[in-house]
Amino acid sequence: MSENAHYGAGGSPPQVDVCVCTFRRPAVRQALASLAAQQRAPAFRIIVADNDDTPTAEPEVAAARASLGVEILYLHAPARNISIARNACLSAAGAPLVAFIDDDEVAEPGWLRALVDALEAQAADVVFGPVLARYEANAPRWAREGDFHSVRPAIRGNGVIDTGYAGNVIMRRAVVGAHRFDPAFGAGGEDTMFFAALHRAGAKLGYCPEAVAHEPTPAARARMGWLLPRAFRSGRTHARMLRAGGAPPVSVAAPAALKAAYCALAAMVTAWSPVRARAALLRGALHAGVVREAFA
């Protein structure tokens, strides 16, 4: 604990509010424990927003506060809408920096230090870290080799990152300002839209590969029946992001349709490779989602 700088342990005002949105997930205990184990971190406080209808996570948070010796602010943000929980965290945050990590993730000991250092080194307003999947021993070989569950930001050819995710991120609260997550995307895609809006408003988005968080991949997710719908939903969200930026429907749909067709052909040509064929199918599902949403 001596290496750590938790708010409440030394009395220092927090420089970072680390936010965890949770919904009936016992794994939040491991997430909080990994935050308590942060090394060389600036002074920080943890904010937990419980998105359940009733405050089911409150006992877990109270137990973590007592056993881990860290300052944890519990919020009840009901409605089963992740945007409501994320917005409750932003409204409660008072530190100059705000970080988010998911309730089923485990942060490496240097996670927060790496994010803060990258924010300064890159002169960025927002910095994302990778979310690396942990697969079960009986996970299909193609899932482990393809690693389709790990998450990193898309970096354009010019080096620009124009959106991201809330599973592993830090941002300057002053830049966030009045921006909030849209409750219309409470079932997913809210973070893509949020960070795209920040980017359009002039925020600089960066990436820190050293700020690692790990996420377990249950067997039920290590299958194409789970991955394909996720890719399709991501495509729909991407189309909404482009449309929100002013792109006409045709300019969104036309290239996506061509890419979807190319991916279908690539899947057939690479059918001999379980990883490459699945990668092509997933990419094609994403582009199909873009086409589906372009004219919505």
Question: Are residues 190 and 238 located together in one domain of the fold?
Answer: no
- Tell me the C-alpha distance between 165 and 156, whole Å: 16
CA-closest candidate to residue 188, choices 102, 84, 83: 83
On whether residue 7 sits in a domain, the answer given is no
Question: What domain count does the chain have?
Answer: 2
**pTM, rounded to two decimals:** 0.93
Domain membership of residue 271 as a residue range: 223-296
What is the block-wise mean pLDDT of the chain (296 residues), using blocks of 10 residues?
45 90 93 97 96 94 92 94 96 97 97 98 98 96 97 94 97 96 89 96 98 96 97 96 94 97 98 98 98 92
Residue 1's pLDDT is what? 30
Asked, for residue 86, whether it belongs to a domain, the answer is yes
Taking a C-beta distance cutoff of 8 angstroms, is the pair 98, 198 a contact? Answer: no
- Find the angle CA(126)-CA(217)-CA(156) to the nearest 5 degrees: 35
Distance from CA of residue 186 to its chain's centroid? 14
Report yes or no on 208 lying in a domain.
Answer: yes
Candidates 212, 165, 175; CA nearest to 34 is 212
Q: Are residues 218 and 247 in the same domain?
A: no
